Amino acid sequence: MPNITAVTGFILMGFSDIHELQTLFGVLFLVIYLEILMSNLLIIILITVDPKLQTPMYFFLKNLSLLDVFLVSVTIPNYFVNSLTHKNSISILGCAFQMFFMTFLGSGEVLILTTMSYDRYVAICSPLHYEVIMSSVTCVVMMSVSWGTGLFFGVMYTAGTFSMLFCGSNMIPQFFCDVPSLLRISCSGSLTIIYIGLGIGACLGMSCFICVVISYFYIISTVLKIPTTKGQSKAFGTCIPHLTVFSASVATASFVYLKPPSSTASLTDKLFSVLYTVLPPALNPVIYSLRNSDVDSALKKLLQNLYSRDFI
């Protein structure tokens, strides 16, 4: 039988072997990280302090921003440090933590975006019953289910992946630990647990997609019945940004996780990994705040309060 050496750690290959390019990519990711951090924290602060933003829609948006802050903090700071030090090693425990939080938070984001589509459906299709249907208890339960289901997927994927045997190569062709990359370097004969987990994840993603499609079918049907163009524009203005973020998240994640496995990672795989981990957190505050008079008013009020305090 051939000798098998068990892997005790991994090397995150990132995007380049050239030190100068590693540093450049690290700085670029740091700039993106700071933009995501500041914009999402600003959304959280505005929704927390402004009474006018204490509605179900902004409650969901606050949770989404909080999740996005955690999501990018799992990978980018570590990648930035590795790029500057040119030491790309990560322990098995550190890799497991990265995978757990990425799957936990990524699944939670898809579920929160699905919940937000239902919120928009109720607000547009049943406005008279909105406050009754989307009560504070209902919102808390929906968020608890979203976070709890994401936690379940995080535990399931992490336990299933690290129950496999890794031997030989310890090179992960990514800038963080994810399931497809670890499957490429696994020497386990049976991957049944992982494929079951991926199947469950695919069913969840498809269910969320169907729910969003059904919600927007009724939303669009209702909006088209609005007699004024201004009313239609206002309704579409609250829905199109959400649909954009959801589509980008699900499409890029599906490409990475559901495509047939290959022995090596292509540049496309790495690009799509960046898109589904970094793009939605970067876009969420921008597209939800763009043309949003409530958020703009809350920001102006906050700046005015800070300005007035400086001169007291």
Calpha distance 210→205 (Å, rounded): 9
Q: What pLDDT sits at residue 20?
A: 79
pLDDT digits (tens, 9 = 90+) for 107-148: 888 898 889 889 888 988 888 889 889 999 999 999 999 999
| Residue 92: domain span | 9-310
Q: Which token pair is 94?
A: 């550190």
What percent of the chain clears pLDDT 90, i.e. is strictly above it?
Answer: 11
Q: Which token pair is 283?
A: 């876009």
Contacts of 298 (CB under 8 A, 6+ apart): 46, 47, 49, 50, 52, 53
Calpha distance 168→158 (Å, rounded): 21
Query: Does 1 reside within a domain?
Result: no
pLDDT digits (tens, 9 = 90+) for 278-290: 888 888 787 776 5
pLDDT digits (tens, 9 = 90+) for 246-265: 777 777 777 766 666 555 55
Q: What pLDDT sits at residue 7?
A: 63
Which residues in 285-296 are b (16+ Cβ under 10 Å) and which e? beebbeebebbe
Q: What pLDDT sits at residue 107?
A: 87
Query: Does 124 reside within a domain?
Result: yes
State the chain's mean pLDDT as an integer: 80
Roughly how many angstroms between the first and final C-alpha of the chain, as a whole number? 80
What is the C-alpha R_g of the chain? 22
Calpha distance 280→36 (Å, rounded): 10
Calpha distance 111→113 (Å, rounded): 5
Q: What pLDDT sits at residue 137?
A: 92
Q: Which token pair is 14?
A: 């990132």
- Mean pLDDT of all residues in 163-176: 77
Q: What pLDDT sits at residue 100?
A: 92
Q: What pLDDT sits at residue 143?
A: 93
Residue 198: count other Cβ atoms within 10 Å of its Cβ. Answer: 18
β strands within the chain, DSSP E: 9-12, 89-91, 171-172
Q: What pLDDT sits at residue 54?
A: 86
- Mean pLDDT of all residues in 259-272: 65
- Mean pLDDT of all residues in 73-93: 85
Query: Does 3 reside within a domain?
Result: no
Lowest mean pLDDT among 114-123, 197-206, 236-245: 236-245
Q: What pLDDT sits at residue 262?
A: 58
Query: Does 71 reside within a domain?
Result: yes
Half-sphere exposure of 131 (CA within 13 A, CB side): 2
Q: Which token pair is 11?
A: 């090397």
Task: Indicate which CATH number applies to the domain containing 13.
Answer: 1.20.1070.10
CB contact at 8 A, 45 and 302: yes
- Mean pLDDT of all residues in 67-80: 89
Query: Does 4 reside within a domain?
Result: no
State how many domains the chain has. 1
